[in-house]
Amino acid sequence: MGDFATFYANGGVFMHAIALCAILGLAVMVERFIFLFFRFNINGQQFFNQIQKLVMANNIDRAIKLCNAADKAALARVVKAGLTRANKSEADISAAIEESMLEVGPAINKRVPMIAAIANIATLLGLLGTIFGMLEAFRAVADAPADQRSTALARGIGIAMNTTGFGLMIAIPLLAAHIFISNLAKKISDEVELYSVKLENLLAARVRHS
């Protein structure tokens, strides 16, 4: 812990900005992970298979109750929107599903790009700190008295290296988290799109045969 405190202190003022990126990035990453993995996520195939059996058995109320049991999941919300219009026209069913998809789509992808943006900012702040550190090192060589030159030079190089290192330490995990969370959001979006089309076709066939 002492070594990190020294590392942080020797990095200069840019370390504070990079640390702020770390805190903000971590907060967004954790919030998105909890929201997507524990709230919006669901086993799409298993869920839709149950819905399909109930619809084919003409048990729409039971299917809606199944959606209510998983009311936080994006797919369940879209499916429920279609099921509540099951006895309407094909156009009404399609409109209800499309409207629900337009609501859940932005919620799924909300703040996901922000993680990558914060990682990039942390990297750029590290590079900016490197530039200021090297400028300080050059000034030390040019202007500092001979007995203070080595100390000033070491300080400038320390700022340059530490800010770069700290920026990368923050950016790399955030970019890795962004890849994981983006893939999770895409998986949820793809399932919503796939099974909403399947539901629309299923309900439309039911209307035509009723």
Residue range 136-167, pLDDT digits in tens: 888 777 776 766 777 777 788 888 899 999 99
What is the structure's pLDDT at 105? 92
What is the structure's pLDDT at 6? 86
Give the other-Cβ count within 10 Å of 139's Cβ.
13
Element of type H or E holding 41:
none
Which of the four pLDDT bands, split at 50, 70 and 90, describes residue 210? Answer: low
3-state SS, residue 171? helix
Distance CA 11, CA 163 (A): 5
Distance CA 142, CA 115 (A): 41
What is the structure's pLDDT at 139? 77
Distance CA 210, CA 190 (A): 30
What is the structure's pLDDT at 144? 65
What is the structure's pLDDT at 1? 58
Distance CA 173, CA 189 (A): 24
Distance CA 107, CA 153 (A): 50
What is the structure's pLDDT at 2? 63
Return mean pLDDT, the chain: 90
Distance CA 103, CA 78 (A): 9
